[in-house]
Structure 1
Amino acid sequence: MAAIDMTRPLNGFGFSLARLFGTVASWNDARATRKALSSLSRRELDDIGLCPGDIDRIAEKRR
Structure 2
Amino acid sequence: MAAHTLTPDAFDRRLKPGHGLIAACSKIAATFREQADATRTRARLAQLTDRQLDDIGLCRADLQRIGRF
Q: With structure 2 as the length reference, what TM-score do the two structures score?
A: 0.66
**CA-CA distance at 1:47 after TM superposition:** 1.3
Relative contact order higher in (CA < 8 Å, ≥ 6 apart): 1
Residues 1-48 of structure 1: per-residue CA shift (max 9 Å, x gap) = xxxxxxx52432101111111111110110111011101111111111
Q: Which runs of 5+ in 2 are unaligned?
A: 1-15
Which of 39, 42, 51 is the aligned partner of 1:34?
42
Write the letter of the residue equivalent to 1:43. Answer: R
Percent identity over the alignment is 37
Distance 2:41 2:32 in 1: 14
Q: With structure 1 as the length reference, what TM-score do the two structures score?
A: 0.71
Match of 2:66 in 1: 58
Which of 21, 34, 48 is the aligned partner of 2:56?
48
Instruction: Check whether the contact 2:35–2:67 (CA below 8 A) recurs between aligned residues.
Output: no
Q: Secondary structure at the match of 1:59?
A: coil
Equivalent pairs, count: 54
Write the letter of the residue equivalent to 2:24. Answer: S
Tell me how large the CA RMSD over aligned residues is. Answer: 1.6
